[in-house]
Chains A and B, each alone.
Chain A
Amino acid sequence: MVRTIWGSTVGKKTVMAVSGLIMLLYLVVHMLGNLKIFFGAGEFNHYAHWLRTIGEPFMHYEWTLWLVRVVLVLAVVAHAVSAYQLSRRDIKARPQKYVHSKPRASYATRTMRWGGVILGLFILWHLLDLTTGTVHTDFQPGRPYQNVVATFSTWYGNVIYIVAMLALGLHIRHGLWSAAQTLGVGSRARDRALKAAANVLALLLTAGFIAVPVGVMTGVVS
């Protein structure tokens, strides 16, 4: 069964859809958690610490967190590898371009590949900035509130973050609806509802994430 799925274009798209949905579910939780920053340093830092103690005493300190991380890494890798292999195949299947070309697909559809690459690079920067602190100028372990404020006090921190979140919105806009088609849950009757759901979720996630740097820039969070 695994070979049938991985060896087929339809099956590999299923892998993309499922891994995409896992990441999307994580993003919803992540965005909601981020909004705690508007309730002050104490509550935000306490929430961040709680993430490490979820499931105690059954789970050891940070075990749940690491479990989530492993699932996410697997999802990202599965998503990226399938996307790469399918894209290679797609480009090979259409070796010659039309002299008279007419792009008609929506912007979100046409930017899936490069948007995905941008998001991959962003995740790398985001982890080095706020998880490990490697590229952070003033990283304080265990004090995420202060770290977030410091990042969004730099112009490049804001630019990278906001551009990536706009790319995320576009990616989800086409991706969520596509996942529904790939998994066979779309239909003519449901199409409008699915498109609306994808647009609304994309908009909410983008707005929710961008609220944090905007909060820091406007001084609401400091």
Chain B
Amino acid sequence: MKLTLRVWRQKNADAEGAMATYEVDGISPDMSFLEMLDVLNEQLILSGEDPVAFDHDCREGICGACSLVINGEAHGPERTTTCQLHMRSFKDGDTIDIEPWRAAAFPVVKDLVVDRSAFDRIIQAGGYITAPTGSAPEAHATPVPKADADYAFEHAECIGCGACVAACPNGAAMLFTSAKINHLNVLPQGAPERETRVLNMVAQMDEEGFGGCTLTGECATACPKGIPLTSITNMNKEWLRATRKAAKR
């Protein structure tokens, strides 16, 4: 396959960026999108140019490191992560636009790499359970109804890649935050911090400069892990419940 790539190049956080055009040849349809970028970078290094910086780690679709908005869609045309997107989703001769996640809370570090530490700070605000560490507890000591376990797992699937923020026209982190809250709030282990968790995490999300939700549903469409839009509905419900409870004290 022969492709034309238009890639966002930006030297550093303060530099002005622009789209640059490259040609790549000899791309196999079985290559992953990241392998295709590796080919481009080898080509750039051999010709003495600066390779394109992009985030990647496990390349198995489970770590949440890879990003990229491909032809205007977070993680490209398939509902998966960029590392699991294969070149067979494109045609020979295609022009592909590759841009970084765009959000005020995700500043560009270099080229296609953005700083997603705002997500870490949202987690630090309540995306955990306070429990004594040590040896693993006996699994049956805390019974969890099957439906709750399934619900928790569905939300625990969130890998924190930030595609929801990238796809949202408001740069909102509602889907990420709601996935993390719902995952823990439905479980008995998460119950003691049920209220403080939702209040603190939503407050931190606002603090980071993410936008609000206008229910366009773009986030859930882009999510490679299929976190549903109703996740946000449930976070709103939890938030209202916690606000009412806090007012009573």
Contacts and interface: CB of A to CB of B under 8 A. Distances in A.
Query: Helix, strand, loop or mixed for chain A's interface?
Result: helix
B111 interface: no
Contacts of B97: 99-100
B216 A102 contact: no
B148 to A, nearest CB: 15
Interface stretch (B34-42, B101-109, B134-142, B183-191): B101-109
B99 A89 contact: no
B119 interface: no
A191 interface: yes
Contact of B239 (A10, A97, A174): A10
Contacts of B105: 93
A186 B71 contact: no
Given A93-B105, A102-B73, A181 B233 contact: yes
B172 A90 contact: yes
B211 interface: yes
Contacts of B218: 104-105
B209 to A, nearest CB: 6
A149 B27 CA distance: 70
Contact of A13 (B72, B102, B212): B212
B102 A94 contact: yes
Nearest to A94: B171
How big is chain A's contact interface, by range? Answer: 35 or more
Contacts, number: 135
A122 B168 CA distance: 30
Chain A CB within 10 Å, residue with most, of B102, B169, B172 = B169
Contacts of B211: 9, 89-94
A46 to B, nearest CB: 42
B247 A1 contact: yes
B214 interface: yes
A86 B212 contact: yes
B216 A109 contact: yes
A8 B242 CA distance: 13
A5 B243 CA distance: 8
B210 interface: yes
Interface in A91-123: 91-102, 104-105, 109-110, 112
A44 interface: no
A178 B233 CA distance: 9
A184 B237 contact: yes
Contacts of B241: 184
Chain B CB within 10 Å, residue with most, of A10, A89, A95 = A10
Contacts of A92: 104, 209, 211
Nearest to B6: A99
B214 A178 contact: yes
Nearest to A86: B212
Nearest to B217: A105
Interface string B66-110: 000101110000000000000000000000010100111100000
Interface of B: 6, 8, 19, 69, 71-73, 97, 99, 102-105, 168-172, 199, 202-203, 205-206, 209-218, 221, 228-230, 232-241, 243, 246-247
Interface of A: 1, 4-5, 7-14, 86, 89-102, 104-105, 109-110, 112, 174, 177-178, 180-188, 191
